[in-house]
Structure 1
Amino acid sequence: MTREGALLVMVGVAVVLLAVLAYAWWRRTRRDARYSAPVGELPADAVETAVFSGLYVATTRHDEPLERLAISGLGFRSRVDVTVTSAGVALDLPGQPRIALTRDRLVDAAQATVAIDRVVERDGLARISWRIDDDTIVDTYLRPQEASAKALADAIRPLTSTGSDA
């Protein structure tokens, strides 16, 4: 086989691989289209208790850290500012509307080590479990940059249904 022939085969394989990946992502977005992130603002009278900056890693099915959900606004890794208030948690991702997780949606906050494509030091991620609808709980993974994952989880936990004042 000539060099040109080998190059054409390699390009063909790459194109087919990219097409398969695009098709898989398209199927995933169709599968998860029934979910939508709770876009909006927290109540105006909410008292801000903490702010954390960091990285948004993923949102997955509850207790399935390797099963990413393709939810609009939460489909890709990015920077995030997390605002914890007396009324809930706000996630501000660049280029996306604010996501408001009110107290009634929050289920738990804990530390984690692995999520879909990220493995970090033990308990290096914060995991927020929340209700995306009445029947479905999802986990959102965050990696704080200037604070520990424990500090972020500890700030959110009192707001959850398993927290100390729930």
Structure 2
Amino acid sequence: MTSLIDIAAEAEKKSAEVTDWAGRLGWVVGLLLFVAFVYWLMRQGWKWRGSLQSDLPELPTAPDPRGEAKLTLSGRYHGSTTAGQWLDRIVAHGLGTRSRVELTLTDAGIEVVRPGATDFFIPADRLREARLDKGIAGKVLAEGGLLIVTWAHGEQLLDSGFRSDRAAEHAAWVEAVNSMNSSNHASTTEGTAR
């Protein structure tokens, strides 16, 4: 029969393993250093991607006579990618920064106002198309959950992804941007034919 002293001695051995604070502290510090290192690598990758895309020109700003607003949208800006390559994120000039957004469509183009990030303007003659899609770099939603606007910036075509607070607004934006784009191309074609 085991005595009470033997049971206490056995319990003390088991508890001694749990209270090895130096070993635990070493593991916690090591894990924190590893997480910090991984974060630093991700930040360096982001900066490297930005330097690779440094050939993109500065973002256009809205003209002073903006014109009357045809449509407005409040929601989120999810980023921009190379057109047709939904995983190739553009980070130069702040285009990779997710933020709240206020979009305004006028005859001059689309004004993109982003609190806490760089605002920009997409002139009407640079608009190529708008469509509904399900994903852009870092964000995947249900089919048709994102409004994607394709536009020319410098020598490159970009896809910018937006999500309205009221998803039912997306269809009206697609129709308005695409009709604006087709009328711009028709007037350009008529001008060159004369």
1:2-81 equivalent positions in 2, closer than 5 A: 2-42=23-63, 44=65, 46-81=67-102
The amino acid of 1:5's aligned partner reads G
Structure-2 separation of matches of 1:36 and 1:62: 16
Aligned to 2:14: none
SS of the aligned residue for 2:132 comes to strand
| Match of residue 143 from structure 1 | 163
Task: Pick 1 or 2: higher relative contact order, CA cutoff 8 A, min separation 6.
Answer: 1
Q: Which secondary structure state, in structure 2, belongs to the residue aligned with residue 109 of structure 1?
A: strand
Could you tell me which runs of 5 or more consecutive residues in structure 2 were left unpaired when the two chains were aligned.
1-21, 186-194
CA distance in 2 between partners of 1:153 and 1:24 (Å): 34
Please give the TM-score of this superposition, normalised by the length of structure 2: 0.76
Cα distance in 1 for partners of 2:43, 2:54 equals 16
- Counterpart CA distance in 2 for 1:97 and 1:23 is 21
Deviation at 1:144, TM superposition (A): 1.1
Identity of aligned pairs, percent?
Answer: 23
Pairwise CA distance, 1:97: 5.1
Please report the TM-score for the alignment, with normalisation by the length of structure 1.
0.88
Deviating runs (4+, > 4 A) in structure 1?
Answer: none
**RMSD across aligned positions (CA):** 1.9
Q: Which protein is bigger by CA-based radius of gyration?
A: 2
Structure 1 residue runs of 5 or longer lacking an equivalent are none
Q: What SS does the aligned partner of 2:42 have? A: helix
**1:87 alignment partner in structure 2:** 108
Q: Amino acid of the residue matched to residue 142 of structure 1?
A: F
Rounded Cα–Cα distance in structure 2 between residues aligned with 1:46 and 1:90: 11
Q: Return the structure number with greater strand share.
A: 1
Deviations 1:39-98 (A, max 9, x none): 322361633211111110110011111111102232211111111111211111113454
Aligned residue-pair number: 163
Aligned to 1:42, the other structure's residue is in SS state coil
Higher helix share: 2
In 1: Cα distance, 2:160 partner to 2:126 partner: 13
